[in-house]
Amino acid sequence: MRGSIAQRVTPVLAMLAAACPMPAGANGITVSQTTIVLHAGQDAHALTVVDPSAEPVRVQARLFRWHGGESDVYEPTQDIGFSPAIFTIEPGAAQIVRMVVQTPRAAQETAYRLFVDELPPPPRAGKIMLPVRLVIPVFVEGTRPAGSPALLWTASMRAGQLALTASNDGATRARVSDLGYRENGRDHMIAAGLAGYVLAGDRHVWSFPFHGTALEISAHTEQGDIHQSVPLTSP
């Protein structure tokens, strides 16, 4: 089963890193891009990692295949080669990480996440260091025309919670933000800001308390706003 070999990362951590992957201040690494998209005919990409601090930093880069569902799942992959995987950046300097697609493209867009970790330095008396982790979405465009995501929304009650599922049969991802619903005439927020990605050919599930008889949802995506009723079904 997929979950038996997948490496899971705390969803909150991954979501925060995806939303704000460039740390503020003089400490910690920064990157040149927060999202990487490899379009048709583009099999190579270069990401710049910068050390703005006054100390050298050691960095490790790891790439995972990304699946959605009730929580994000990450699997080790060799679909995309990248180099170097471990490197040291001197103060104020930069390192280029080169990426190359190594497998034939699928019909739909394929999703990955690149984890760029600042490795802990040797311990120093009286000084606490908090290494930075950046999680960068990487999307490889499929052979089908990208078009728009094709989202189908369903909802069902289970164990006192409503499970709201968005399935995406389109060829590209949907980035959902400010996801909310209306219950008994009042508006409620499920997730402010980035609520999650519904990957191409995949699904995303949100669970929350719900006591109404009819569900109306609202959200923002890069393709436009969503306002629609979602029928409630039995589990």
DSSP label of 28: S
> What does 86-154 look like in DSSP terms, one character per residue?
EEEE-TT-EEEEEEEE-SPPPSS-EEEEEEEEEPPPPPBTTB-----EEEEEEEE--SS------EEEE
| φ, ψ for residue 173, nearest 5 deg | -75, 160
CB 29 within 8 A of CB 50: yes
- Residues 6 or more apart whose Cβ sits within 8 Å of residue 79: 63, 65, 101, 102, 103, 110, 112, 140
- pLDDT (average), residues 120-125: 74
| Amino acid 191: pLDDT | 94
- Greater model confidence, 162 or 148: 162
- Which sign, positive or negative, has the C-alpha torsion 13, 18, 19, 20? positive
Contact 18, 194 (CB under 8 A): yes
2-140 and 151-233 agree in CATH topology: yes
**Domain boundaries of the chain, sorted by first residue:** 2-140, 151-233
Fold (CATH) for 2-140: Immunoglobulin-like (2.60.40)
- Is 87:135 a contact under the CB 8 Å cutoff? no
CA distance 192 to 178: 4
156 contacts: CB under 8 Å, gap ≥ 6: 162, 163, 232, 233, 234, 235
Residues 21-36: pLDDT tens digits? 343 334 589 999 999 9
Residue range 181-222, pLDDT digits in tens: 998 788 999 999 999 999 999 999 999 999 888 899 999 999
Per-residue pLDDT at 128: 64
Average pLDDT of the residues of the chain: 86
- Reply yes or no on domain 151-233 having CATH 2.60.40.2950: yes
Residue showing tokens 């089908």: 144
- Give percent helix, percent strand, percent coil of the chain, each to the nearest 5: 5, 55, 40
What digits encode the pLDDT tens for the residues 55-106? 899 999 999 999 998 889 999 999 999 999 999 999 999 999 999 999 999 9
Using DSSP's 3-state secondary structure scheme, residue 17 falls into: helix
